[in-house]
């Protein structure tokens, strides 16, 4: 893995840029050590959501900033739950760069952890602990990079903002509140870098492929409800609520949404085909080059890769079912949750109407339920993608780097509709096996990846924000 080139970009800017004298920056080992120390403190803060308790993590970040004399803002969006925002000032010739990360983590209850979940444990060349990969490592790297910019007095052409948000794992509680109540702290940004990309290592733990996130599906749950007459089970009557619900769910299952190729997916299929062979490569190329309709036979060829096929359509799938009150009583009601992931360009209303057409039963109620996100995408070209490609090409020559559409969502989805391009990075290289630890037991991160991620982010921030 690279590391020796870390000082070159910064020193080049310092030589070329006019301005006051600048403090010498630490080397890459010092930056990585600071990121690791902050990461360990954030893991120990235990911000499992629910309930969140993100104020604990914010207190850790605030103490770090206070010790360096850097001003910051804390925004409480619920009792015990806060966002942290810090701004490193530039000369204002360009709109600010926003570095975004969430500080809540998913629950660990019922998972077979082999180490304490909220204490960083070293096993071999890996760190174990909830949040070491999603997303506390990014939060730590962003804050330490911002501190480095301030302490080294790097001449900046734009402000660099770091925002730690809470509640991302429960559909964006923190950033929703921020945008509704104190948007001025972040919405003047001209560009956002956030989580959501990927960076994979092969079996030999050498870089094999990477991707940056340019578009995300929307998220919406629907409640599907049916009422029944009830009564004694010994006297069955037509319109059994459970049977009618089962028919409705079966129709939804047998009627997938029509395939549609959005720009981000088209680009991804064309680029991904280069690393495939045989029928898979042919199918991907056929999809990438398709005009008005996506070839059904190409979709069928990729059926063994459901996450790939899901990039081609809005998906709706039943995830929970309930109904009835007793074994010997006809059900008075039955209901199910149908979880939908919605392509950019389609709306919750579009999906609701489509589900109603498929079910074709006026006695079945289909209504949006719970929080939702809107599908969103960012330009495939521009300063963000150009900088990401340039930095990755310098650091990892020849590494495949693909823009992609995600079936999941991040806090970026709330910023793109405001006209702010947002891109998801995969800063920290992981193996496919290690990636499975995200949201699961024994979440882990390679120790060398901390240095890789910190260096990559620092170079990227210089590319996007340092004075030319």
153 and 18: one domain?
yes
**Sorting pLDDT into bands at 50, 70 and 90, what band is 190?**
very high
- In this structure, is residue 157 part of a structural domain? yes
pLDDT of residue 16: 38
Residue 380 burial (C-beta neighbours within 10 Å; 0-12, 13-18, 19+):
middle
Is 166 within 8 Å of 83 (Cβ atoms)?
Answer: yes
- In this structure, is residue 1 part of a structural domain? no
Q: Is the confidence at residue 311, as pLDDT, over 60? A: yes
- What total number of domains does the chain contain? 3
* DSSP annotation of 185: G
CATH number of the domain that 330 lies in? 3.30.70.360
pLDDT of residue 10: 43
75 and 113: one domain?
yes
Element (H, E) at 177: helix 173-181
318 and 335: one domain?
yes
- Residue 379 to residue 168: CA distance in whole angstroms: 23
Is 434 within 8 Å of 445 (Cβ atoms)?
Answer: yes
In Å, what is the CA distance from 144 to each residue of 220, 349, 450?
35, 43, 12
| 345-361 pLDDT per residue, tens | 999 999 999 999 999 99
340 and 382: one domain?
no
Q: What six digits make up the tokens of 280?
A: 């898979």
36 and 59: one domain?
yes
Average pLDDT over residues 189-210: 96
Is 85 within 8 Å of 161 (Cβ atoms)?
Answer: yes
Element (H, E) at 287: helix 278-288
pLDDT of residue 440: 96
pLDDT of residue 27: 72
268 and 167: one domain?
no
Mean pLDDT of the chain: 93
In Å, what is the CA distance from 416 to each residue of 20, 176, 190, 366, 412?
36, 13, 11, 28, 6
pLDDT of residue 468: 81
Taking alpha carbons only, the member of 223, 205, 206 closest to residue 372 is 223
Q: What six digits make up the tokens of 281?
A: 């490569």
In Å, what is the CA distance from 166 to each residue of 48, 55, 136, 163, 468?
10, 9, 11, 10, 34
| 325-344 pLDDT per residue, tens | 999 999 999 999 999 999 99
- In this structure, is residue 296 part of a structural domain? yes
309 and 319: one domain?
no
Q: Is the confidence at residue 228, as pLDDT, over 80? A: yes
289 and 380: one domain?
no
Q: Is the confidence at residue 26, as pLDDT, over 80? A: no
Q: Which domain holds residue 365?
A: 218-249+314-370
104 and 71: one domain?
yes
Q: What six digits make up the tokens of 140?
A: 């730590």
pLDDT of residue 14: 39
Q: Which of 15-24, 210-219, 251-260, 397-406 has the lowest mean pLDDT?
A: 15-24
76 and 197: one domain?
yes
- Residue 215 to residue 90: CA distance in whole angstroms: 29
In Å, what is the CA distance from 56 to each residue of 108, 132, 134, 335, 457?
18, 16, 17, 38, 25
- In this structure, is residue 394 part of a structural domain? yes
Taking alpha carbons only, the member of 447, 23, 422 closest to residue 195 is 422
Taking alpha carbons only, the member of 148, 141, 140 closest to residue 9 is 148
CATH number of the domain that 180 lies in? 3.40.630.10
- In this structure, is residue 197 part of a structural domain? yes
Is 394 within 8 Å of 197 (Cβ atoms)?
Answer: no
pLDDT of residue 29: 85
pLDDT of residue 37: 98
Residue 20's CB is within 10 A of a number of other CB atoms, namely: 6
169 and 114: one domain?
yes
- Residue 10 to residue 15: CA distance in whole angstroms: 9
Average pLDDT over residues 131-146: 98
pLDDT of residue 289: 97
Q: Is the confidence at residue 251, as pLDDT, over 70? A: yes
In Å, what is the CA distance from 424 to each residue of 49, 178, 196?
22, 20, 4
414 and 450: one domain?
yes
C-alpha triplet 400, 401, 404: angle, nearest 5°: 130
pLDDT of residue 12: 41
């Amino acid at each position: 893995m690279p590391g020796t080139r870390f000082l070159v970009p910064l020193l080049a800017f310092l030589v070329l840029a006019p301005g006051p004298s600048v403090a010498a920056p630490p080397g890459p080992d010092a930056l990585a050590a600071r990121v690791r120390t902050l990461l360990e403190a954030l893991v120990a803060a235990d911000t499992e959501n629910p309930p969140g308790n993100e104020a604990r993590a914010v207190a850790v970040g605030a103490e770090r900033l206070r010790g360096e004399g850097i001003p910051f803002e804390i925004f409480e969006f619920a009792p015990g739950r806060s966002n942290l925002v810090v701004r490193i000032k530039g000369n204002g010739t360009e709109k600010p760069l926003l570095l975004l990360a969430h500080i809540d983590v998913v629950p660990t209850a019922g998972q077979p952890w082999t180490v304490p979940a909220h204490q960083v444990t070293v096993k071999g060349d890996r760190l174990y602990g909830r949040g070491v990969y999603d997303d506390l490592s990014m939060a730590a790297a962003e804050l330490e990079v911002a501190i480095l910019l301030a302490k080294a007095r790097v001449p900046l052409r734009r402000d660099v903002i770091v925002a730690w948000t809470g509640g991302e794992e429960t559909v964006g509680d923190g950033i929703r509140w921020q945008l509704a109540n104190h948007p001025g702290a972040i919405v003047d940004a001209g560009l956002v870098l956030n989580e959501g990309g990927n960076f994979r290592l092969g079996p030999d733990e050498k870089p094999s492929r990477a991707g940056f996130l340019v578009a995300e599906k929307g998220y919406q749950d629907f409640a599907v409800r049916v009422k029944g007459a009830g009564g004694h089970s010994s006297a069955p009557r037509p319109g059994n609520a459970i049977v009618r619900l089962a028919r409705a769910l079966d129709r939804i299952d047998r009627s997938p949404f029509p395939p549609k190729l959005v720009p981000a997916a088209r680009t991804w299929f064309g680029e991904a085909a280069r690393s495939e062979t045989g029928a898979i490569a042919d199918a991907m190329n056929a999809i990438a080059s398709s005009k008005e309709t996506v070839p059904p036979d190409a979709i069928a060829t990729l059926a063994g890769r459901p996450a790939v096929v899901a990039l081609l359509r809005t998906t709706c799938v039943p995830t929970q079912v309930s109904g009835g009150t007793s074994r010997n009583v006809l059900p008075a009601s039955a209901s199910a949750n149908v979880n939908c992931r919605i392509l950019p360009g389609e709306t919750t209303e579009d999906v609701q109407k489509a589900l109603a057409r498929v079910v074709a039963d006026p006695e079945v109620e289909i209504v949006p339920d719970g929080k939702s996100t809107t599908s969103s995408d960012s330009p495939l070209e521009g300063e963000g993608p150009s900088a990401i490609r340039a930095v990755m090409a310098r650091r990892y020559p020849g590494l495949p780097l693909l823009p992609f559409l995600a079936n999941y969502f991040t806090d970026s989805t709330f910023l793109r509709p405001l006209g702010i391009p947002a891109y998801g990075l995969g800063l920290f290289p992981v193996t496919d096996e290690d990636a499975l630890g995200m949201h699961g037991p024994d979440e882990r991160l390679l120790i060398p990846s901390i240095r890789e991620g910190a260096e990559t982010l620092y170079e990227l921030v210089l590319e996007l924000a340092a004075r030319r």
